[in-house]
């Protein structure tokens, strides 16, 4: 899917910021009014981006921020080619995160301390709190002709671009809170977007603040549940409700009934526009369940991240590794909750230890495989009494040991592996044509065996059919139900007829 995940926007922006490592920040006389922090980026979506010239320093990005009255912070980094600088401007409060190759500049905050503290508290809200804040509050009424026209205009604006803007969604959702079916469906359509393979779209420049980024997916699911409850099943609503399954990191405030794998598959197929509409008994409740619930989820995910057995790291890691949205949620929660800093650091170290254990296990597997191949090579190489199976085993060992080993046996025996034949031919080895000819002959022989098997099976079936149709001792038995009604005939031997109690007519 190309749609954003719940916290995918935040992860993508940080990933954008962290690319080339180890560059030296260009020295420039920056104004002291900005708080300049080398080695930091932010998690928020950017307001606008600029590309600076190859010799322009950080101060060029700061100047752009100063010239835009909406800008409250900027980030600057060198591009991957190191030929240009990438400058991003941000509006509103920002949350710094470590990013070694980025320089963050924060404009002086001239707002009163009380307002600043309120912003800080809002920035620590969970995605569920944001969902409850912006969830639909339906007050049924009829829309006027002008309002219906406005719904269509806003929907057209939402569908004309791949980027969904808050300036469009806010008035559209306000109109949809009338409960009008067309207006509510327009909200769902705007969240889904013009591309059918997108599950939902993030909303740019939205005023909500949350430690886990923009909760567009779960808000879309909340609107979809409200539509389903009031107006019935709809494929777009189903596709958005899929964001509210019980295994998601962030709750929607909509609880779907439990589904087995078959029911879930049918539900998702309906969301893609095929199949029958399922019957759903939706339950609605507050998405935010308190700080204790958030902390319990954090502890659960951290336990999964850190639980692994170093002695069987590959198996355990595949079971306990977090999904990307889960890992991003954990990191965002920890960034907004200083009290879990030690737990977070321990989980990061444990994850690093698991990755290292995986690497060592992989190297050990490679070493063991090579050791076994060397033992096979020592046992078979140079012998003239090898069976056909022994030659195949020797070639398998040579494949593990490397191309030079394959070349040593290529002139002495016929190769069986297509990759080895392609290799010797790619370098013009003298055995190429012989091995190619042998491969063609094997393929022809295999096809002949397949045809022979098919012909043999067909002949056997024909013989059985002939025996059933004209063989001695076969009789046709008429069958009746308990009421004496004729229900058909069955062909069987006379002995079988006697066993079932059939009488001659």
One DSSP character per residue, 130-192 reads HHHHHS------PPPHHHHHHHHHHHHHHHTSSSEEHHHHHHHHHHHTT--HHHHHHHHHHHH
pLDDT grade, residue 308 (50/70/90)? low
pLDDT in tens, 428-471: 898 899 989 988 988 888 888 888 887 787 777 677 666 655 44
CB burial class (10 A; 0-12, 13-18, 19+) of residue 373?
A: buried
Contact 492, 477 (CB under 8 A): yes
The residue that leads in pLDDT, 152 or 121, is 152
pLDDT over threshold 70, residue 19: no
pLDDT (average), residues 344-366: 75
pLDDT (average), residues 55-72: 83
Contact 386, 341 (CB under 8 A): no
- Long-range CB contacts (within 8 A, 24+) of 23-31: 23/77, 23/78, 23/82, 23/101, 25/58, 25/103, 26/57, 26/58, 27/57, 28/57, 28/58, 28/59, 29/59, 30/58, 30/59, 30/62, 30/105, 31/62, 31/66
pLDDT in tens, 124-147: 788 899 899 899 999 999 999 999
User: Using the 8-state DSSP alphabet, how is residue 218 labeled?
Assistant: H
Helices (H) and strands (E) in the chain, counts: 19, 11
Is 491 in a helix, a strand, or coil?
strand
Phi, psi angles (nearest 5°) of residue 74: -140, 155
Phi, psi angles (nearest 5°) of residue 146: -65, -40
Please give the full DSSP string across 3-37, using - where no structure is assigned: S--TTHHHHHHHHHH--S-SPPPPP----TTSEEE
Q: What is the mean pLDDT of the chain?
A: 80
The C-alpha atoms of residue 199 and residue 3 are separated, in whole angstroms, by 5
Whether pTM > 0.75 for this model: the answer is no
The answer to which of 233-242, 385-394, 463-472 has the lowest mean pLDDT is: 463-472
What pLDDT does 80 receive? 66
Please give the full DSSP string across 53-84, using - where no structure is assigned: -TT--HHHHHHHHHH-TT--EEEEEE-TTSSS
Q: Specify the pairing of strand 254-255 against strand 203-204.
A: unpaired
CA 133 to chain centre: 28
Among 170, 179, 107, 117, smallest CA distance to 142 is for: 179
pLDDT in tens, 240-289: 998 888 778 888 999 888 888 888 889 989 988 888 888 888 999 999 99
The C-alpha atoms of residue 139 and residue 177 are separated, in whole angstroms, by 6
pLDDT grade, residue 228 (50/70/90)? very high
Residue position matching structure tokens 């993508």: 12
Tokens of 132: 């409850």
The C-alpha atoms of residue 35 and residue 43 are separated, in whole angstroms, by 17
pLDDT in tens, 163-200: 888 889 999 999 999 999 999 999 999 999 887 666 67
pLDDT over threshold 70, residue 8: no
What pLDDT does 473 receive? 60
What pLDDT does 10 receive? 35
| 122-128-133-135 Cα dihedral, nearest 10 degrees | 160
């Amino acid at each position: 899917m190309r749609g954003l995940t719940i916290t995918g926007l935040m992860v993508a922006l940080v990933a954008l910021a962290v690319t080339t490592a180890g560059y030296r920040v260009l020295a420039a006389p920056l104004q002291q009014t900005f708080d300049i922090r080398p080695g930091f980026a932010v998690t928020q979506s950017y307001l606008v981006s600029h590309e600076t010239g190859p010799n322009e320093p950080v101060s060029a990005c700061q100047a752009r921020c100063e010239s835009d009255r909406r800008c409250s912070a900027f980030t600057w980094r060198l591009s991957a080619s190191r030929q240009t600088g990438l400058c991003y401007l941000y509006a509103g409060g920002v949350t710094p995160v470590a990013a070694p190759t980025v320089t963050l500049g924060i404009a002086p905050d001239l707002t009163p301390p009380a307002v600043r503290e309120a912003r800080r508290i809002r920035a620590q809200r969970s995605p569920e709190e944001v969902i409850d804040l912006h969830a639909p509050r339906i007050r049924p009424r009829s829309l006027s002709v002008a309002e219906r026209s406005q719904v269509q205009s806003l929907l057209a604006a939402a569908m004309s671009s791949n980027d969904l803007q808050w300036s469009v969604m806010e008035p559209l959702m306000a109109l949809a809170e009338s409960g009008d079916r067309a207006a509510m469906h327009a909200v769902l359509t705007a969240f889904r977007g013009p591309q059918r393979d997108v599950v939902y779209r993030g909303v740019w420049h939205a005023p909500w603040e949350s430690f886990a980024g923009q909760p567009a997916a779960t808000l879309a699911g909340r609107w979809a549940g409200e539509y389903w409850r009031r107006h019935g099943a709809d494929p777009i609503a189903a596709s958005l409700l899929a964001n509210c399954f019980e295994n998601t990191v962030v709750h929607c405030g909509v609880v779907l009934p439990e589904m087995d794998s078959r029911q879930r598959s049918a539900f998702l197929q309906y969301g893609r526009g095929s199949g029958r509409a399922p019957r759903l008994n939706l339950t609605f409740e507050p998405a935010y369940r308190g700080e204790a619930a958030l902390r319990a989820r954090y502890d659960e995910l951290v336990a999964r991240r850190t639980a692994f057995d170093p002695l069987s790291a590959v198996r355990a890691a595949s079971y306990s590794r977090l999904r990307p949205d889960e890992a991003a949620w954990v990191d965002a929660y920890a960034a907004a909750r200083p009290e879990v800093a030690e737990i977070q650091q321990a989980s990061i170290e444990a994850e690093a230890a698991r990755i290292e254990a995986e690497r060592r296990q992989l190297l050990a597997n490679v070493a063991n495989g090579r050791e076994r191949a060397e033992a096979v090579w020592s046992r078979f190489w140079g012998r003239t009494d090898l069976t056909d199976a022994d030659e195949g085993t020797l070639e398998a060992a040579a494949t593990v040991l490397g191309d030079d080993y394959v070349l040593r046996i290529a002139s002495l025996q016929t190769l069986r592996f297509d990759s080895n034949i392609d290799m010797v031919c790619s370098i013009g080895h003298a055995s190429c044509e012989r091995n190619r000819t042998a491969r063609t002959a094997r393929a022809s022989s295999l096809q002949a065996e397949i045809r022979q098997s098919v012909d043999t099976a067909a002949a056997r079936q024909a013989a059985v059919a002939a025996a059933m149709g004209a063989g001695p001792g076969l009789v046709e038995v008429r069958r009746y139900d308990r009421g004496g009604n004729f229900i058909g005939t069955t062909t069987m031997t006379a002995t079988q007829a006697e066993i079932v109690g059939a009488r001659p007519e």
